[in-house]
Amino acid sequence: MSTLTSGFDIYLLLILAFLFMGFRAIVWQDLLKLKDLSIVYPFASLVQILILIYAVLFFDEKISMYNVLGLGIMIGGIFYLTTGREK
């Protein structure tokens, strides 16, 4: 079996990646059935929060003030774009 230098099995990571992609596609299609694309699409950028959390947890990254500021701007923009558009 092929392993990464950190000891993870490459094939296990690939299988997990495809499972998560499939799950995301199913959830995305369900969301599009419920709401307009103009409401749902801005929330796709919220994945950046998960990436930052995973980077801290799994790769021991440090969170800088620029990271927090950037996430705040993105979240503010999402709420600005989506507030008041409900029909």
16 vs 41, more confident: 16
Residues 50 and 80 in one domain: yes
Q: pTM higher than 0.85 for the full model? A: no
**Residue 60 dihedral angles phi and psi, to the nearest 5°:** 55, 40
Contact of 11 with 2, CB cutoff 8 Å = yes
pLDDT band at 59; cut points 50, 70, 90: confident
Taking Cα atoms as reference points, which of 86, 46, 48 lies closest to residue 67? 48
Q: Do 79 and 49 share a domain, yes or no?
A: yes
Residue 50 amino acid letter:
L
Domain shared by 58 and 86, yes or no: yes
- pLDDT of 66 higher than 90: yes
Whole domain around residue 54: which residue ranges?
A: 35-87
Q: Do 30 and 41 have their domain in common?
A: no
Radius of gyration of the chain (CA): 17
Total number of domains in the chain? 2
> Is the alpha carbon torsion for 49, 55, 60, 65 positive or negative?
negative
